[in-house]
């Protein structure tokens, strides 16, 4: 029997002394044993739980490590992709060089566009081998500097692109580690526009500095912020004594409101152009000036000040005053001369009347008595005396014609010009009708070309045509076959030119300027009759229309006479 069985037997025997106590103790020990067993099972369970938790943590750690590795790889891919996008989209040129050889491994599109070379043409070349960079130092020297300083920079490097454009660039090289090897990155920035802006700015600064005009800057409170040499010269203040003070000190008291008006326009973003007024110099003199004021804006386009250009126009104003006075004096002289001209015209009219009546009467008497002598005593006169009377009669008749022509010439100077639309084709053909009787027995070939419509006085223009055509008829009288041609000559947009050409006696070209003078004749009376006033009348008529006259000719080779009529509205024919 085992101890436990013995204990149970004793415990179960109620007759054994202390039986109850031992039973209780046995039961207590049994409960303790069960408790310990349960505790052991609990600890075992907890141990298994901890093991499982440890395994779970291990798995989670491994999962996190895998995720971290995946994120790292993704980050690298994203970084590479971002870099590539930046590389290709950059608006600076980028070259990637091998750090050992200095040869191009890669070039971005902007650089290819800037230089005019394709990507393939640049790969494998050194920077110095690319023609735009021919002025850069040798490849070896640049690599040595990079190895030493890890940085190379060229300021304002001049380049000539493949298509001949000249650009200025900023060239910066850096060495950096890319994985297990070193590379060189070269950044090429086009600074042409910046250099041009700098040059323009420097030029503007030089212009401002050397300008004879006052160029003044001020803020919106009228405080002077800049002052050039031109301002010093005009106003007498040095920069050190005027900067930081109010511009009001340059403005006469009665013109102070002008400053407020200028500022109101400036604050609205408006400029003030060529405003003429008075300003006061350091020594108190008042000078006439022309002011142009423009708004100064900040980077946000907000108006922050005023730029003023002030030009001293005192001398110009004085000159204008003198010109004004001279004009006034001239107008007075014109009034006086007009009155004198009216008086002279009246005297000329009186003279014309006198010529018309007082001179014509004796001529009529002479012609009348000559006629009486020829009829009454002609049979008793010798042939020579009868010839003398004939000469007297013809000379007197010619004197009468000369007086008539002279009076006609005088009247042309006073006649009113009444312009209207004139069809020259029609006017010429009407005028030729006047010559039918006189030329009926003549063999004349008339050549009339289409003529333009002009704006002129038809009566005066007809008189000019009569004189020119009669001139051509007269000087072709010795030709068995005469030819007279009328037509348009090349002119300008401002005038129409008409010519009358004949194959008559012509004239010596060196005397062409005398043709249109009063009483100027290039042929004797015996050769061709005339008073020498017809062409003078033509010139006066054409001049009163605003045109001009001239002639070309050769002795015994014909002549061409020209006259012009101004066009209306710079080139339109007629109205």
Q: At 575, is the pLDDT very low, low, confident or very high (cuts 50, 70, 90)?
A: very low
Q: Can you give the pLDDT at residue 105?
A: 87
Burial class (CB in 10 A: 0-12, 13-18, 19+), 560: middle
- The CATH-assigned architecture of domain 90-195 is 2-Layer Sandwich (3.30)
Residues 214-264 have pLDDT tens digits of: 999 999 999 999 999 999 999 999 999 999 999 999 999 999 999 999 999
Say what percent of the chain tops pLDDT 70. Answer: 81
Residues 381-422 have pLDDT tens digits of: 787 887 777 878 777 776 666 666 566 656 665 567 788 999
Q: At 571, is the pLDDT very low, low, confident or very high (cuts 50, 70, 90)?
A: very low
Find, among 515, 439, 517, 520, the residue nearest to 476 by Cα.
439
Say what percent of the chain tops pLDDT 90. Answer: 29
Structure token digits, residue 94: 């980028």
Q: Can you give the pLDDT at residue 467?
A: 85
Residues 355-385 have pLDDT tens digits of: 656 666 777 777 777 777 777 776 777 878 8
Q: Can you give the pLDDT at residue 48?
A: 83
Say if residue 572's pLDDT is above 50: no
Residues 452-465 have pLDDT tens digits of: 999 998 888 888 89
CA distance 534 to 516: 8
Q: What sign results for the dihedral spanned by CA atoms 434, 435, 441, 443?
A: negative
Count the helix, strand and coil residues of the chain and give each as a percent rounded to the nearest 5: 50, 25, 25
Stronger pLDDT, 121 or 363, i.e. the higher one:
121
CA distances (Å), origin 111, targets 93, 161, 189: 4, 11, 9
Residues 58-115 have pLDDT tens digits of: 777 777 777 666 665 665 565 556 667 778 878 888 888 888 888 888 888 988 888 8
Question: What number is the average pLDDT over the span 529-535?
Answer: 65
Question: What number is the average pLDDT over the span 538-564?
Answer: 90
213-312: same fold as 90-195?
yes
- Choose the CATH number for 213-312 among 3.40.50.2000, 3.40.50.1110, 3.30.450.20, 1.10.1040.10: 3.30.450.20
Say if residue 318's pLDDT is above 70: yes
Class of 418-566 in CATH:
alpha beta
Mean of the per-residue pLDDT values of the chain: 81
Question: What number is the average pLDDT over the span 490-511?
Answer: 87
Q: Can you give the pLDDT at residue 378?
A: 67
Q: Can you give the pLDDT at residue 282?
A: 94
CA distance 368 to 116: 105
Is this prediction's pTM over 0.75? Answer: no
Q: Can you give the pLDDT at residue 574?
A: 42
Parse the chain into domains and list their residue ranges.
3-78, 90-195, 213-312, 319-395, 418-566
């Amino acid at each position: 029997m085992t101890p436990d069985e013995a204990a149970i037997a004793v415990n179960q025997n109620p007759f054994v002394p202390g039986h109850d106590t031992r039973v209780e103790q046995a039961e207590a020990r049994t409960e303790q044993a069960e408790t310990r067993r349960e505790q052991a099972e609990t600890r075992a369970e907890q141990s298994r739980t901890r093991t499982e938790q440890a395994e779970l943590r291990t798995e989670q750690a491994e999962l996190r490590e895998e995720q971290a590795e995946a994120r790292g790889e993704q980050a690298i891919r994203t970084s590479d992709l971002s870099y590539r996008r930046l590389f290709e989209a950059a608006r600076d040129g980028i070259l990637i060089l091998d750090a050992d050889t200095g040869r191009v491994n890669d070039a971005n599109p902007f650089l290819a566009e800037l230089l005019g070379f394709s990507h393939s043409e640049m790969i494998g070349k050194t920077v110095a081998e690319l023609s735009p960079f021919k002025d850069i130092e040798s490849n070896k020297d640049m690599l040595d500097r990079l190895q030493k300083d890890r940085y190379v920079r060229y300021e304002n490097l001049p380049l000539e692109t493949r298509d001949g454009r000249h650009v200025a660039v900023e060239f910066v090289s850096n060495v950096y580690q890319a994985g297990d090897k070193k590379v060189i990155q070269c950044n090429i920035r086009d600074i042409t526009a910046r250099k041009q802006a700098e040059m323009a700015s420097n030029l503007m600064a030089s212009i401002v500095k050397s300008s004879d005009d006052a160029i003044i800057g001020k803020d919106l409170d009228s405080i002077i912020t800049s002052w050039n040499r031109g301002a010093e010269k005009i106003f007498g203040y040095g920069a050190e004594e005027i900067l930081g003070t109010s511009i009001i000190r340059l403005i006469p008291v009665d013109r102070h409101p002008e400053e407020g008006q200028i500022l109101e326009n400036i604050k609205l973003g408006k400029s003030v152009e060529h405003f003429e007024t008075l300003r006061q110099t350091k020594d108190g003199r008042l000078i006439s000036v022309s002011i142009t004021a423009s708004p100064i804006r900040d980077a946000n386009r907000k108006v922050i000040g005023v730029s003023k250009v002030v030009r001293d126009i005192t001398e110009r104003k004085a000159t204008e005053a003198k010109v004004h006075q001279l004009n006034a004096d001239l107008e007075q002289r014109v009034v006086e001369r007009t009155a004198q001209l009216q008086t002279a015209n009246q005297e000329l009219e009186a003279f014309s009347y006198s010529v018309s009546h007082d001179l014509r009467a004796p001529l009529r008497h002479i012609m009348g008595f000559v006629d009486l002598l020829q009829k009454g005593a002609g049979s008793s006169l010798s042939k020579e005396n009868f010839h003398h009377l004939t000469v007297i009669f013809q000379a007197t008749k010619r004197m009468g014609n000369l007086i008539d022509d002279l009076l006609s010439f005088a009247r042309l100077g006073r006649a009113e010009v009444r312009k209207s639309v004139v069809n020259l084709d029609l006017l010429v053909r009407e005028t030729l009708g006047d010559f039918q009787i006189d030329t009926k027995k003549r063999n004349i070939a008339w050549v009339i070309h289409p003529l333009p419509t002009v704006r002129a006085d038809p009566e005066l223009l007809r008189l000019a045509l009569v004189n020119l055509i009669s001139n051509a008829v007269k000087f072709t009288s010795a030709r068995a076959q005469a030819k007279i041609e009328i037509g348009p000559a090349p002119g300008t947009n401002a005038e129409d030119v008409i010519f009358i050409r004949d194959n008559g006696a012509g004239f010596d070209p060196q005397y062409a300027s005398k043709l249109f003078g009063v009483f100027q004749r290039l042929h004797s009376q015996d050769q061709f009759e005339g008073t020498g006033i017809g062409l003078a009348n033509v010139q006066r008529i054409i001049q009163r229309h605003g045109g001009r006259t001239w002639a070309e000719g050769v002795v015994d080779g014909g002549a061409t006479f020209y006259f012009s009529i101004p066009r209306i509205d710079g080139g339109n024919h007629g109205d």
